[in-house]
């Protein structure tokens, strides 16, 4: 019972990357900004993210948790 209480009291972490969007902006606010760093995964393209990141301490990357569907080849292989 004690172990259950301790496990329930452990804080949970929110998911950093939103899997609904393919591009994330990593914002660095550091010591001068006071807010640390975070990810904003609300972009549909790299150009859109880069336009938002202009003039900020930020980089744009592909979202590692965005589901990428690779189509399978159709038909049978000829041999």
Q: What is the pLDDT of residue 2?
A: 55
What separation, in Å, do the N-terminal and C-terminal C-alpha atoms of the chain show? Answer: 63
CA–CA distance from 67 to each of 22, 60, 71 (Å)? 8, 18, 13
CB atoms within 10 A of CB 49: 25
pLDDT per 10-residue tile (average), the chain, 79 residues: 46 69 91 77 97 96 88 69
The values of phi and psi at residue 51, to 5°, are -65, -40
The H helix count followed by the E strand count for the chain is 3, 3
């Amino acid at each position: 019972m004690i172990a259950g209480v301790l496990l329930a009291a452990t804080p949970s972490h929110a998911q950093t990357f939103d899997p609904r969007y393919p591009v994330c902006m990593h914002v660095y606010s550091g010591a001068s900004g006071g807010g640390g760093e975070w990810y904003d995964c609300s972009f549909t393209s790299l150009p859109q993210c880069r336009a938002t990141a202009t003039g900020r301490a930020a980089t744009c990357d592909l979202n590692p948790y965005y589901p990428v569907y690779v189509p399978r080849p159709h038909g049978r292989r000829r041999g």
